[in-house]
Copies of this chain bind each other. A is one copy, B any other.
Amino acid sequence: MKTEMKKVYLDNMATTPVLPDVRRAMLPFLTESFGNPSCLHEWGDVPRDAMEAARRQVADLIGGNPEEIIFTGSGTESNNMAIKGLAMAQQKKGKHVVVSAIEHFSVLNSAKTLEKWGFEYTTVPVDKNGVVNPEDVRKAIRSDTILVSIMQANGEIGTIEPIKEIAKITKEKDILFHTDAVAATGNIPVNVKDLGVDALSLAANMFYGPKGVGALWLKKGTRIMPLLDGGIQEGGRRAGTENVAGIAGMGKAAELARVEMKVRMENLIKIRDYLIKELPLKVSHVIVTGHPQNRLPGHASFCVEFIEGESMLMLLNAKGVGVTSGSACTSRALQASHVLLALGLPHEIAQGSLLFGLGTDNTKEDIDYVLEVLPPIVERLRQMSPLYSKFLKQEKGE
């Protein structure tokens, strides 16, 4: 069958493809311009210029200044650097940190590490759509709070958080505010000045740049302890020979994201809304997770009741569709997504998690294909699910 051969990548929240222009921007630094940007001879000149150009491109994407950009090796590194580095630099003022319950593990586990180092942290809850209430942040703030970290958008449920409102509170209380914008940057407009934050994490592979490059925007004058000690790259704040090719790619990807953002968003929102509307019509007992509207443009996430996510995604894979799940079985840690549980979903429902990360390549046809292949998969898995038979028996009043 022809449709059997179709390939539909719908996992752009895990990583995006690298755009051809981005790859082209990288190649010189894997060929003739291989030099180390720290070098004073001419082999250092082009790489150094490329780094500075990329710094400006990334700064422009988020409305910051180039000097405020610190290139890192991933969104995870940016988050670790922000949480640990800002807390350590502020520890004389206090040792308490506030995060939300749905932060990425790179934030949550950094907070846990701070705890080992003698800090304390408070976790702010979210509502059933995954939204943090700024007043909860206010309540969590203590006299010794030095840092608040709330993500701009969640990668698992797509919900966009009220960063601006939270920033008003942190400003009023004179506390540093970091936002993990790894899932958001490049996909929705992000402006550090508008948001009012002090630090912001981003990663290239979330907006069609290469994997292995991230950045931390750090407001001018904000003190931070480096995570990587050593040489004086990145103004002494992030030592180590720079991934010049990756950084050049990130710069190009940032520029493209800035220029094309409006068009990309319009297209994505159209097909995302179509998927969110249609899927629950084609499959019974499906819950949309995350905020129904105020979510990332390419993000559609569901819980399919009575069955488990990994088996769905494997069968979708057999049909050429690449998606992901927050089920315990898909996590190598074998725990259901803390994000889904924070929404108040019970474990058996969280296990049916399915997450579509739509990208610029996707079309309505791709969605139609999913809507065609998914229902029989669900049906088949339900037919073999003990939870589903129990449910049917209960319905019949047995």
**Which of B109, B231, B322 touches A230 (beta carbons < 8 Å)?**
B109
- Whether A243 and B246, one on each chain, are in contact in the complex, defined by CB atoms closer than 8 angstroms, is yes
Interface: A308 (CB within 8 A): no
Interface: A169 (CB within 8 A): no
Question: From residue A279, how far is it (CB to closest CB) to chain B in Å?
Answer: 18
A34 cross-chain contacts in B, Cβ below 8 A: 15-18, 211
Most buried by B among A15, A18, A105: A15
- Whether A231 and B76, one on each chain, are in contact in the complex, defined by CB atoms closer than 8 angstroms, is yes
A residues with a Cβ closer than 8 A to B are: 9, 11, 14-18, 23, 26, 29-31, 34-36, 38-43, 72-77, 79-80, 104-106, 109-110, 112-113, 117, 203, 205, 210-214, 227-232, 239-246, 310, 313-314, 316-317, 321-324, 330-333
Copies in the assembly, this chain: 2
- Whether A43 and B11, one on each chain, are in contact in the complex, defined by CB atoms closer than 8 angstroms, is yes
In the bound complex, what is the Cα–Cα distance between A144 and B38 (angstroms)? 38
- Whether A23 and B31, one on each chain, are in contact in the complex, defined by CB atoms closer than 8 angstroms, is yes
Question: From residue A269, how far is it (CB to closest CB) to chain B in Å?
Answer: 24
A109 cross-chain contacts in B, Cβ below 8 A: 229-230, 239
- Whether B75 and A240, one on each chain, are in contact in the complex, defined by CB atoms closer than 8 angstroms, is yes
Name the CB-closest residue of B to A29: B211
In the bound complex, what is the Cα–Cα distance between A239 and B104 (angstroms)? 11
Name the CB-closest residue of B to A27: B23
Question: From residue A320, how far is it (CB to closest CB) to chain B in Å?
Answer: 8
- Whether A243 and B243, one on each chain, are in contact in the complex, defined by CB atoms closer than 8 angstroms, is yes
- Whether B104 and A230, one on each chain, are in contact in the complex, defined by CB atoms closer than 8 angstroms, is yes
In the bound complex, what is the Cα–Cα distance between A35 and B324 (angstroms)? 12
Most buried by B among A30, A42, A332: A30
A40 cross-chain contacts in B, Cβ below 8 A: 310, 313-314, 317, 324, 330
Given contacts A14-B38, A41-B321, A80-B227, 13 further A-B contacts (CB under 8 A): A15-B39, A34-B211, A35-B322, A40-B317, A42-B322, A73-B240, A75-B240, A76-B230, A76-B231, A77-B240, A105-B230, A211-B244, A227-B228
Name the CB-closest residue of B to A88: B116
